[in-house]
A and B are shown apart, each in its own frame.
Chain A
Amino acid sequence: MIDVQNVVKVYRRGSNEVRALDGVSLTVPRGQFLSIMGSSGSGKSTMLNLLGALDVPTSGTISIDGQQVSQMPDDALSKFRRSRLGFIFQFFNLLPTLTAIENAILPELLGGKSREEMEPKAKALLESVGLKGRWNHRPDELSGGEMQRVAVARALLSEPALLLADEPTGNLDSKTGAEVLRLIREATRERNLTVVMVTHDPRAAEVGDRLVRLADGHIVGDDPVRVAA
């Protein structure tokens, strides 16, 4: 599903060079829920951005769902993100001027689909993430947990191959965070979706099937998650 080979990512700031990822290799089979942990600056976000086709590696190859994303032109990458990937960020997941349902179908609207076509599915999905009847609320009328639920619905709507989450619970209180995590876990398991989630929180990481630890751009640990007692 995901195949990362010898990826190096170097950032240049003036004469400074930062090797954010330094020869990382990783394969993730379909349907696996992978958590990535590491201290701040260890390269987690960089990893996620590369997997999300938001950035290209300095060297090495990345293939997702059989596609070589490290070599695609920008427009093709955009289309790939729109149709094959789902994103959930820590905050700022929604456009403030759009309603919940519009935010949920944003990628499809950008892709040229009509509202009418997408609405039944979006409503069903929003209902399943617990937002029944709040379709026409705008982000400023929703709580943080509700906003993340809209983001989850959006990520699931296009039936992507891969869901990427960068600290999805970082901005939520622990109870709400746990609920959102459970939601992601269940929804992806039902759909046999591959998930890569970056987190700081060991308890969050335990939701996954497998835990990769990063430090200074290297993988320093790769273990299956013990099923909690």
Chain B
Amino acid sequence: MLSLLRLVSLRHFLGSPLRTLITVAGVAIGVSTLVGITSINKSVMNAFRSTIDTVAGKADLTVAADTAGLPEALLETVRAVPGVAHASGGLTLVAPIDGAAGQNLYLMGVDLLDDGFFRTYEGVDTDVGKLADDLEFLNSTDRVLLTDRYAREHGLTKGSTFSLITPDGAKPFVVHGLLKETGPLKAFGGAVGVMFFGSLQEAFGRGRTLSRIDVAATDKKDLEALKQRLRVALGPTIEVDAPERRGQSVETMMRSFQLGLNLGSGVALLVGIFLVYNTVSIGVVQRRREIGTLRALGAERSTIRGLFALEAVVLGLIGSAIGIPVGLLVGRGAIAGVARSVSEIYVRVNVSDVQVGPTEVLLGVALGVLGSLFAAMRPAWVASSVMPVEALRRDVALGGGQVSVRSWPTYVGVGLLALAWPVTWLPAPVENLAFGGYFSIFLILMGTTLLSPLLLRALNRPFQKPAEWVFGFAGRLAADNFARSPLRTAVPVSALSIGVAMAITIGGFVGSFQASSQRWIDQAIPADLFVTSSAKLAGVQNQPMSGEFIEQIRSIEGVELVDPVRIMPWDALGLRIFVISNDSAIYMSRGTPLLLAGKLPDEARRSQGAVILSENLARRRNLTPGSTFTMNTPTGVHTFTVDAVIIDYTSDQGSVIIDRKVFDQVFQDTRVDSFHVYVKDRARDTESVRAAITARLGRRFNLYVLSNAELRDEARKLIANAFSVTTAMELVAVILALLGVINTLLAAVLDRTREIGLLRAVGADRAHIIKLFAAEAALIGVTGGVMGVAIGGVVGVIVTTVVGVQATGWDFPFLFPWQIALQMFVGASVCAILAGLYPARRASRLDVVEALAWE
């Protein structure tokens, strides 16, 4: 067998280098996309988990307070609980860097002596052990330890000063020493400073609060009992959990984000398999004569099948060997963008490189090798089944395989399509994972793929007239050829349609989401200016501002109203939701909250704890007007009543909207994430008020002041950015499809060499032959485009109303993206023609005499 491989296959590979190249490229691109995406997914998840782990260090349990803070006195309470071996308190916060818009320093306030029990800090030029007695470090409020990398990148050395924005404005801080970027410092990507927690509290006006207490247990086996004792000691409002448990709500959250990545990798994988199938099967079909010769020389059927299987495995291995490293490169290129999106929308992650484990490599090899093997099986089977004489004839059209309406692909195809809608009703197996929706999309793609050969056959007649009109009589012949080997031609058509469909689906989803969120901003938050501190859009990246700014803003000439909005990430109802509080009077009079159910609470109801829920939270937790739910707050467990459900796009996990007065009491928090400023006359006052805010507060506190239009723009960009990787994958899918077009047409040229000779003999010139193949390519493009637009529309509806709803809880109408559809349709057709030009040129250059020769 191996000698046959060397004798027959190797010669074939070297003899038609282009086809071999396309086959290997097809495998490689499919494999690299899969490996790239899975490694990105894994790296982001790992980075996130390792952040949790390294930050948690050796802590067995963590007492957490999220944003509002724990009284420092609780540290003693914790230490007094039996079974606590060690406890250490810490305060972390994000400080905007003065003069560098949008950049923050993550500050950890710890007691190095205590904290050293859980985490290891390594000094570069400083002995960390001695810092515990270093009075200068402990007593001044401006001493910070920085990582050596951060210091180097910002031109700082020991003793230099830099400026951070604190609630009291910009303040200078001094580099007290440098630390190695290891352990907890690494988790945040180096932009981290360490201070004594007392100093940090003082510098940032945090009173005597902590954000976290880490606990080591004496008896590691019975953490549950210790947890109970701590709960009793600390009261019901304070969360005590194992560190990794706290990660879970964030992981659930990330599942929403992976929607785009999952869709993209699935599609790229599918198109990759198509191309592998396309190239390998064409290669096999075209070697029927060779198979005939081998058979005539006495090779058995099983030998032939084995040979082709082996060949496919070899090509698959070569493709995988190229695809895996390329995939890693691609992943490396895309990871920064993905990490940025995740950091913007969810949690800060530090991913500097992609990681691959054996799983990704195995997955890549499996796709490459098994995909090729699978692709070669059917054609090898068919080819080895024919009698040697038949295989030796050259004048039979080889691409063959007629399709009939009554055959299993038709029944299965129709069956899959019929199932597509019912499976969308499948419940999500894990929160935020839209299994039913993904499954339905898979069924639709499979079903249409199975039915596409029939469609091509049916399109023969309708295409004849228009093709002849555009390309002359060669166009008419192309319309016939297009439908002649439907099994083969259907592959690039389907691949192209999937690429196009994906663009339409994602474009439609993003566009629909943008349209809905714009309507929401227009109606629900029509303020003229928005003032935020460390991030343009208030959210996880934002650092709240002091509530006292409100007076200064109100006093500005031209300001009519200011709504001090707090947007606070909070763990509640098993999710990381946002608790939004605003001045209800302004919110309900100036804006028009997009009410879906219930009635907006009046003042009396609000003071009794009536709140408004976002639709996604209501949907996720089955809450309706009249339902009640509880939340842990700094002042105890409180029960809230749902009065209304509205559209709100602040968080894809869910939001609770609470009146500002109630919030201040319950959460003991008067800080503000975004001042919504209403001016007296939008046209006249907006710019002057913006200038005044910038002059009085903006420079000092590094604030962003966005107009309504700018806010809408930021929201639009954020949505588009979340899908930027998907866009890159659309491109991969289309490129793969175009390789498929080239490949299919090259095979057609070989198949129809005799016909080309005949045409040339009866007077067709080179331009006719070029048109013949260019027109067929155009028909492939047009069909793929139309199919893609149709599939994209249907899948778009499913993604928006099923997958999107399960992943984000938001239900908005799908707007068909006409413009993208038109662009993709034209783009697919034009690109297909361009791809067809190479085979067309080859066909037109055929030597007529040789083309006509029988032997």
Contact = CB atoms under 8 A, between A and B. Distances in A.
Interface string A81-123: 1110101011111011110000000110111100000000000
Given A55-B849, A110-B473, A97 B484 contact: yes
Interface stretch (B127-135, B147-155, B756-764): B756-764
B395 A92 contact: yes
Interface in A118-154: 154
Interface string B469-488: 00011101100110010000
A87 B761 contact: yes
Interface size on B, as a range, is 20 to 34
Contacts of A93: 758
Contacts of A98: 477, 480
B397 A96 contact: yes
The winner among A79, A107, A154 for most chain B CB atoms within 10 A is A107
B765 A79 contact: yes
A27 to B, nearest CB: 23
A74 B758 CA distance: 15
B754 A81 contact: no
A78 B758 CA distance: 12
B472 A112 contact: yes
Contacts of B623: none
Interface in B384-423: 395, 397
Nearest to B848: A54
The winner among B759, B760, B767, B849 for most chain A CB atoms within 10 A is B849
Contacts of B854: 90
B748 to A, nearest CB: 13
A49 interface: yes
A78 B849 contact: no
Contact of A78 (B395, B484, B765, B853): B765
A154 to B, nearest CB: 7
Contacts of B766: 74-75, 78
Interface string A39-70: 00000010001001011000000000000000
A83 B395 CA distance: 27
Nearest to A86: B762
A112 B473 CA distance: 7
B760 A107 contact: no
A81 B763 contact: yes
Interface string B745-759: 000000000110011
Nearest to B851: A54
A75 B477 contact: no
B761 A54 contact: yes
Contact of A110 (B755, B762, B853): B762
A81 B761 contact: yes
Given A95-B477, A95-B755, A96-B397, A54 B762 contact: no
B314 to A, nearest CB: 29
B768 interface: yes
B108 to A, nearest CB: 75
Given A91-B395, A97-B484, A107 B762 contact: yes
B852 to A, nearest CB: 7
B443 to A, nearest CB: 34
A54 B852 contact: yes
B406 to A, nearest CB: 21
A91 B394 CA distance: 12
Nearest to A54: B848
B762 A154 contact: yes
A85 to B, nearest CB: 8
Nearest to A75: B765
Given A92-B754, A96-B397, A97-B480, A78 B763 contact: yes
B474 A49 contact: no
A92 B763 contact: no
B763 A97 contact: no
A4 B624 CA distance: 97
Contacts of B476: 109
A87 B762 contact: yes
Contacts of B397: 96
A87 B767 CA distance: 21
A89 B754 CA distance: 12
A81 B762 contact: yes
Given A75-B766, A75-B767, A106-B759, 11 more contacts: A78-B760, A78-B768, A79-B763, A89-B852, A91-B395, A96-B397, A97-B481, A106-B762, A107-B762, A111-B763, A112-B473
9 contacts: A45-B853, A49-B848, A49-B852, A54-B760, A54-B849, A55-B849, A79-B763, A91-B395, A95-B477
Interface of A: 45, 49, 52, 54-55, 74-75, 78-79, 81-83, 85, 87, 89-93, 95-98, 106-107, 109-112, 154
| Top 8 A-B residue pairs of the complex, sorted by shortest distance between their CB atoms | A82-B763, A78-B765, A97-B480, A109-B473, A107-B763, A81-B763, A107-B762, A54-B848
